[in-house]
Structure formats: C-alpha cells, structure tokens
Amino acid sequence: MMNSILIANRGEIAVRVIRTARELGMRTIAIYSELDRDARHVRLADEAWFVGPAPAAESYLNQDRILEIARESGAESIHPGYGFLSENAGFARKVTDAGLIWIGPPPEAIEAMGDKITSRRNAERAGVPTVPGITEPVTTVDEVAKLAHEFGFPVAIKAAHGGGGKGLRVVRSIGELEEAFEGARREADAYFGNPEVYVEKYLEQPRHVEAQILFDTHGKGVFLGERDCSVQRRHQKLVEETPSPALNAKQRRALGKAALAAARSCGYANAGTVEFLVDRNGDFYFLEMNTRLQVEHTVTEMVTGVDLVEWQIRVAYGEKLPFDEIEPRGHAIEFRINAEDPYQNFLPTPGQVVEWQEPAGFGVRVDSWITPGTTVSQYYDNLMAKLVVWGPTREAAIARGRRALQEFQVAGVSTTIPAHLVVVDHPDFVAGTHHTKWMEEAVDLGEAPPQAAPALPEDEALVKREITVEVGGRRFEVAYWAPEATPTGQPRRKPPKLSRTGAPKASDGVVTAPMQGTIVKVHVKAGQKVEEGEPICVLEAMKMENEVKAPASGEVVDLRVEPGDTVSSGQVIAIVK
C-alpha cells in the first residue's frame, strides 16, 4: 500500500513527482526554502514544510532537516527528484536506515555508478566500450599534464561524482591545464561536495546519446529507448529528442544491450540513464551513468506511454515490471526553457517573471514551476520549464515544436526560446547532422531583438488579503496587506522614480557584474596591468561559473571584490584605466 511520499526537491521536478503521486492516491509532502514559500510545488502538495534558508546547503541539501521533516510528517517514502541529493549514496542509506522507502537505486549502485571513475571500471568489466582515460582520480596538475601527453590534446577534466557539465573542463593546450584543473575541482566541490576529478580523451564533434533503462528489484531490466542530447552549450543540454536521428536499428539494439549490461554490473534497480558518446564512425563509448531520473525523461514517456515516475515509485515499493519491450511510437523533442540570455553567451538571468503564457494543443506538454510574479533565484538551477512536443515523425515534431515555441510568451527575464527557434530552422538540425559542439561552433543567433523592460511599480495602495505562514514547520493561512485593484482589475500604482544618471559603461573601464552571484576567485590585484579580455574574476551564479573579463587594456586602479563576496547585477567589480 503506497500511502505517503516526501519530495526532497523543488521546481518543476517536485511538481512532476507530486502530480503522479497524487494520481496514485498518495499523501504528498513538499519541502521549501525561504525563497520558495509560495512556489507551485508548495501549493500543489497536501502538506508543505519549511526546510531552511535560501542557500541549497542549508535547505535542499540539509539531510538531517529533511529526515526530521520526514519523521514529523509521517512520510513513508522519499523521492529525491534530480540534482541535490538524488545521487548521494549516504543520504539514500540514511533514508533506508530510518525505516523509510528510498525511491531510487540502492546506495551501493549509486556508489558504483554515480562515481564516474568506478563506473568506468564496472563498464569495462561488463564489456562496454569506454572512452580512453583513467580510472583513478588525479590530484595534481603534473598528473594531468602526463596524461595529456599520453592521450594527446584535447583532454577532458571531469568531476568524479557528478555530471550535467558541472566540474568539466576541456583542455586543448599545456597553458590551459592549471586553470582548468583548479576550476574543475572547485566547481565539482561546490556542486557535488567532492572535488575529485579524472581525465579522459576528449572526442571531437561526437553525438551525445543516452539509454533509458528501468530495473525492478526482482532482477528484470528493460531498455526503453535512447535519447539524443547533442544540442548543448557549455556541455549542458538544451534540446533532447527520441529516437536519435544518428542511430539505425542495429546500433540501437547494441546500445540498449550495452546499457543493460552496465546497469547489471552494479546490481541496479529503479530508473537510470546510461550515457554514451557516438563518434563520426558510429561507434559508441560509455560516458557515465546517471543513477536517477533525468531532466529529459519526458521525451521517453511521450513515445512509450510509460510514466517513469510512477514506475520509480512502484519499483521502490517492490512491484514487478509487467512489460518486456515497448515499441516506441512517433518522435518527441524537449526544449529546455532556461533563464538565460542566448545573445550574451547564455548568461544566466535571475529575476522576476512578469509574463508567463504556456503553449498548448495536441502533442504539446509543458512541465514548469513558473507563474507570473515568480522570482528565478541565483541560488538554484535556472531551468524554468520543459516544452515537450510529440509528432508521428521527426518532421512533424519539429513543426509542432516551432509552433509551440512561437506561442510561448515570457517577459521579465531572458530565456532560451529565441535560441530554440533558430535551432529548429537550422538545416543541420533538420538533417540530424548536429553534434555536441555544433551549437557553439555553427549556430549564429544574429542580433538580439530590442525589448522594452517591463515596468514594475515602486509603491501600491494596499488592502487586506490572506497569506500562508509556517509554525513549527507547518503552513497556516493568515491575513496580510496587498495591492488594491482598480475597477479595471489592475493594481493602483504610484509612478516609479526614474534614474537621472546613466549606468557605467565598459568603454569607461568599469567592470560590472553581469548578474547577481558570488565571487569565487579573483585573478588580479589592484595596481596590476591587464590586457583586454583577460579574466578579472570568476562569478558563480545558478550553479555555473562565469569569467568576468577586462573591457580594455590598462591598470586595475580599483578592485572592489574578494572571494566570497555576493554581488548584484551591474555592481562595480573593478575599474581599469
């Protein structure tokens, strides 16, 4: 009997899990940070409990507090979603030790395949081809240099305990080694809590193709098809589709067989994804295994009719898989709608969403957590929604995707929608000949269209309303004061104050923060000479590191930040004269 479930996550995946769990008749329990008090997943759940302050380390990564909430709420099981604690074997073990049901693979499987180094060893023992590389972590730049000499440039320095492009640096020359090694370790530690990295040969222009597998606890495993994730920027996926236009039936069977073998090598159970790189010759190589549900699981659901979250839950509760093979039907494509500015090298754009209108129609699905007024925070991932379309053919799916993207209306923050519209019209994508570096090397987005910033009120007349608060971690409804509506239904506003001075410009030698975030490294000192384009500092926002560079050659006459400082968008970091 499936009674209650705590979702240890936020955003669209928390919404996704809550919906399926409610269809199964389960009591749903959400957790939320200070910034997520009024988030969609909080409103949808049967109960919502305060987990901690905004930083993830103090909220969605706070294992003890999450387990405390599970105990106090009477939760029977915990679903981790993806990201955060989903691939943390220690947390999975704590959940089961507490007598709760962990909706995910066994801790031993997470340790075996979640660790990228150990997973390579397991894959090799199972006879799955792997990219040339090592199966031991590297601890010094000298070690990386020796391996680069052995494999030949370029090489990839990769986080041993995570994926998604986090903690990954591609090195093409000896001069890039030290900075890449330090950056990969720092990002791996920040995102996955472990700085270990390893090195492997970097394949040029490969396809990124992954296999969706599902195992029950009785030893039965099923391959549910592959997904092509080759449209990427900064090693992070933007567009995913199934089936892959790069594989024929024979390659697809071989890929599925290899994926099931890799999973069996570690006693896997539940949903998982085995990722491969496919080279120009059509040969595939094991990349890593994600021991969790993937962001792009939606496209598999669209062509198979299998609710993967439902079967994650059923498998965790001991049910057997009732199907052997499922023949996929049609073609599905997912577009990630991120808070990023594609015209500024996909720079993260945290801020408040003013307008949000989702597309609809036959074959269109939107998984999101956004409503008008939602604030996209620098503290978390910038994924706002997933637009998923289905068609009987790839051509039909592309056409439907184009129509749905054109209908999607967002204001207040920049999004990846303009980039997606360019992708679906590009001849390479239409022909299915793109690769993992294609987006960065071959796609020209053109000039950014002029956009007027939405006007937000400074002051508004207020009337009494109601709001939810928590007492002892539980939510209650209380009164509060909110903007008064006019007869037209619009808030009664006082006119905003306008700035009389212009913002500092790069031509003035002023270096400003491109977004809100945290300074994690400073490359220069006051008084130091720098060249145009030379890095000044590294700014972390939305789980991504961004280099802030000198706008001109000269001397750093004023340096206003140090590691650990939090800066706002437009804040002056340094002045170069």
Rounded to an integer, what is the distance from CA 272 to the centroid of its chain?
16
Q: Are 509 and 483 in contact (CB under 8 A)?
A: no
Calpha distance 403→421 (Å, rounded): 9
Kindly report the number of other CB atoms within 10 A of residue 97's CB atom: 11
223 pLDDT higher than 70: yes
Q: Are 384 and 320 in contact (CB under 8 A)?
A: no
Q: What is the pLDDT at residue 131?
A: 86
Confidence of residue 373 (pLDDT cuts 50, 70, 90): very high
- Fold adopted by 506-576: OB fold (Dihydrolipoamide Acetyltransferase, E2P) (2.40.50)
For the stretch 98-147, pLDDT in tens is 999 999 999 999 999 877 778 888 899 999 999 888 878 999 999 999 99
Q: Among all chains, which residue has been given the structure tokens 């009337």?
A: 463
- Cα 155 to Cα 283, 401, 416, 443: the distances in Å are 19, 35, 29, 24
Q: Are 211 and 228 in contact (CB under 8 A)?
A: no
Q: Could you tell me the residue ranges of all domains in the chain?
A: 4-103, 133-201, 207-441, 506-576
Q: What is the mean pLDDT of residues 190-206?
A: 88
Instruction: Write out the two tokens for 272.
Output: 């998982």
Query: According to CATH, what is the number of the domain 133-201?
Result: 3.30.1490.20
Calpha distance 453→105 (Å, rounded): 46
482 pLDDT higher than 90: no
Q: What is the pLDDT at residue 392?
A: 98
For the stretch 20-60, pLDDT in tens is 999 999 999 999 999 999 999 999 999 999 999 999 999 99
Burial class (CB in 10 A: 0-12, 13-18, 19+), 501: exposed
- Cα 103 to Cα 27, 265, 271: the distances in Å are 15, 20, 9
With pLDDT > 90 as the criterion, what percentage of the chain qualifies?
71
For the stretch 483-501, pLDDT in tens is 666 555 555 544 444 343 4
For the stretch 403-461, pLDDT in tens is 999 999 999 999 999 999 999 999 999 999 999 999 999 999 998 887 654 544 444 55
Range of weakest confidence among 28-32, 157-161, 219-223? 157-161
Query: According to CATH, what is the number of the domain 207-441?
Result: 3.30.470.20
Q: What is the pLDDT at residue 191?
A: 75
Query: According to CATH, what is the number of the domain 4-103?
Result: 3.40.50.20
Coil/strand/helix, residue 455: coil
Instruction: Write out the two tokens for 372.
Output: 């008008």
Sign of the torsion formed by the C-alpha atoms of 422, 353, 294 and 135: positive
